[in-house]
Amino acid sequence: MSIQLTFTQEVKDRWTAALRSGEYKQCHQMLSDKTNAGLPRYCCLGVLQALNDLTVIGFGTLAAKEPDDYARTTIVEGLSLEDQSLLAMMNDDEHKSFTQISDHIDGNISAV
């Protein structure tokens, strides 16, 4: 049995608003970095992770937290691995800003 987070319009809107808010500082090559003098930094997918209490199971797969059973994986339904990989590339390789990434999400990734 798996638990899925559905990529609804509400989830999408909260994510892009958070990316644009300035409350999340950006990092690269990892979902989050909490070692920077106590000031956490996130990649774009790390912000989605933080907003929805998700944990990562494998590359590009975001899974809902199951404290006693991490073997139960789940993908964010409606956010394809291809989209996740592209967003990671924009964040990590192209060093796009969170605003630029938000614009891409809004214009190119549909909610379920």
Residue 112 inside a domain? The answer is no
Residue 3 inside a domain? The answer is no
| Measured distance CA(87)–CA(26) in Å, rounded | 13
Q: What is the extent of the structural domain holding 77?
A: 9-107
- What's the pLDDT at 50? 86
- What is the residue-level pLDDT of the chain in tens, covering all 112 positions? 354 678 999 999 999 999 999 999 999 988 788 776 778 899 998 899 888 877 655 444 555 444 444 444 445 788 888 898 899 999 999 999 999 999 999 999 999 8
Q: Is the CB of residue 67 less than 8 Å from the CB of residue 85?
A: no
Question: Structurally, how many domains does the chain consist of?
Answer: 1
Q: Is the CB of residue 87 less than 8 Å from the CB of residue 16?
A: no
Residue 103 inside a domain? The answer is yes
Residue 2 inside a domain? The answer is no
pTM: 0.80
- What's the pLDDT at 39? 81
Residue 45 inside a domain? The answer is yes
